[in-house]
């Protein structure tokens, strides 16, 4: 199995070099708003109850028109996010327009605003997939998300989505930290009873507000427990998977996800931030060098074709920590959202945790 994985990973490494030269836009994230009705301690975007500067409805329409002119949207997924996207005043105006143009789209949400009526409207305007955040059992979820009653409202929202019976996939995403990892087994029992299509489990990342809680970062033992848990459940046929965050080494790669790890930022994925800034993954720290332009004064296609150099290269070349690593061909410096752009090294590295 190890030799098979090495063969696959070498093929992927060769393909990635080609992808750096010839990127293929597959996911375009639209951050409709930074407004949020929760205050999650791990939020990477530092969302607030207030809107701040946002693109107008007309600007979104112009963007959607341009992207349809410039790309084959049958091969493109619009990924709608925030903040809490449903707090955007013109949410349904924007998404109904995208639906009329023929876009396939999905959304991430805390689901606390998804009544039966909202679920029906989401179906009417063409939503195909949704991922809902549940970060622990009732008390833990509400504590981590800073929203009393948030768990019950989110679970009700999930059931409303299921009952609508109109979506390709209803997914739950859980962020695991050093404390709530002890609730994995109980959470599995709950998820197993829900008629969801998948349960996506990711680890707490050292970004955004989570930097204020280093005590909640996963330990080596937590990571091993998490990946063993996911692998075991997948072997039993459950639709459980780890997120796209990190290279996991030969033991766990292709065991806890459907395929091998590749950071999509800037090669498969781009994002339009709430203020019109163009970037790659929305979890990346919003520094000047990672902002590639703004759709208010530049056409997205031009930026996609002619910028993004920072994401289309092997960043392990820049790091003393990575330079002599035997896995660097497969890892390439790991995820761009957890890269330390000042110290030129990954903030999360599974070497020494999952592999040597």
Per-chain mean pLDDT for the chain: 96
Q: State how far the alpha carbon of 277 is from the alpha carbons of 29, 95, 207, in Å.
A: 12, 20, 19
Model confidence pLDDT, tens digit, residues 3-14 = 999 999 999 999
Model confidence pLDDT, tens digit, residues 311-340 = 999 999 999 999 999 999 999 999 999 999
Q: Are strands 277-279 and 269-272 parallel, antiparallel or unpaired?
A: antiparallel
Is the predicted pLDDT of residue 46 greater than 80, yes or no?
Answer: no
Q: What pLDDT, on the 0 to 100 scale, is given for residue 332?
A: 96
Model confidence pLDDT, tens digit, residues 281-297 = 999 999 999 999 999 99
Q: What pLDDT, on the 0 to 100 scale, is given for residue 165?
A: 97
Residue carrying structure tokens 């800034």: 277
Residue 14, Cβ density class (10 Å: 0-12 exposed, 13-18 middle, ≥19 buried): exposed
Dist. CA 172–CA 135, nearest whole Å? 9
Q: State how far the alpha carbon of 293 is from the alpha carbons of 29, 90, 107, 306, 321, in Å.
A: 15, 24, 24, 11, 31
pTM, full prediction: 0.96
How many helices and strands, by DSSP H and E, does the chain display? 12, 12
Is the predicted pLDDT of residue 96 greater than 80, yes or no?
Answer: yes
Dist. CA 78–CA 29, nearest whole Å? 6
Q: What pLDDT, on the 0 to 100 scale, is given for residue 51?
A: 59
Is the predicted pLDDT of residue 53 greater than 90, yes or no?
Answer: no
* Residue 80: DSSP 8-state: E
Is the predicted pLDDT of residue 50 greater than 70, yes or no?
Answer: no
Residue carrying structure tokens 């207030």: 50
Is the predicted pLDDT of residue 262 greater than 80, yes or no?
Answer: yes
Model confidence pLDDT, tens digit, residues 207-233 = 988 889 999 999 999 999 999 999 999
* Residue 150: DSSP 8-state: H
Q: State the pLDDT confidence band at 49, using cuts at 50, 70 and 90.
A: low
Q: What pLDDT, on the 0 to 100 scale, is given for residue 77?
A: 98
Dist. CA 114–CA 233, nearest whole Å? 29
Is 335 within 8 Å of 232 (Cβ atoms)? Answer: no
């Amino acid at each position: 199995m190890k030799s098979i994985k090495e063969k696959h990973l070498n093929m992927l490494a060769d393909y990635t070099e080609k992808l750096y030269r010839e990127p293929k836009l597959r996911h375009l994230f639209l951050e409709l708003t930074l407004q949020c009705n929760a205050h999650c301690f791990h939020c990477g975007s530092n969302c607030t109850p207030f809107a701040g500067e946002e693109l107008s409805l007309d600007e979104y329409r112009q963007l959607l028109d341009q992207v349809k002119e410039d790309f084959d949207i049958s091969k493109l997924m619009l990924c709608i996010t925030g903040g809490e996207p449903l707090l955007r005043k013109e949410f349904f105006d924007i998404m109904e327009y995208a639906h009329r143009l023929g876009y396939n789209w999905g959304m991430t949400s805390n689901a606390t605003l998804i009544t039966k009526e909202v679920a029906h409207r989401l179906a009417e305007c063409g939503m195909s997939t949704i991922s809902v955040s549940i970060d622990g059992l009732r008390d833990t979820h509400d504590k981590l998300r800073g929203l009393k009653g948030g768990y019950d409202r989110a679970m009700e929202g999930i059931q409303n989505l299921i009952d609508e019976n109109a979506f390709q996939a209803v997914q739950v995403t859980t962020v695991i930290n050093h404390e709530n990892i002890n609730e994995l087994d109980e959470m599995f029992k709950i998820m197993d009873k829900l008629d969801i299509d998948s349960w996506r489990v990711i680890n707490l990342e050292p970004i955004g507000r989570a930097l204020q809680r280093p005590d909640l970062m996963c330990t080596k033992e937590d990571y091993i427990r998490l990946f063993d848990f996911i692998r075991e459940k997948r072997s039993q046929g459950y639709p459980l998977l780890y997120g796209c965050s990190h290279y996991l080494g030969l033991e766990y790669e292709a065991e806890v996800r459907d395929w091998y790890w590749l950071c999509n930022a800037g090669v498969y994925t781009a994002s339009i931030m709430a203020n019109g800034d163009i970037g790659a993954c929305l979890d990346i720290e919003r520094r000047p060098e990672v902002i590639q332009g703004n759709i208010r004064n530049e056409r997205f296609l031009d930026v996609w074709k002619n910028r993004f150099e920072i994401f289309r290269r092997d960043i392990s070349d820049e790091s003393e920590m990575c330079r002599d690593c035997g896995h660097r061909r497969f890892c390439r410096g790991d995820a761009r959202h957890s890269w330390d752009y000042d110290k030129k090294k990954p903030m999360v590295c599974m070497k020494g945790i999952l592999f040597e």
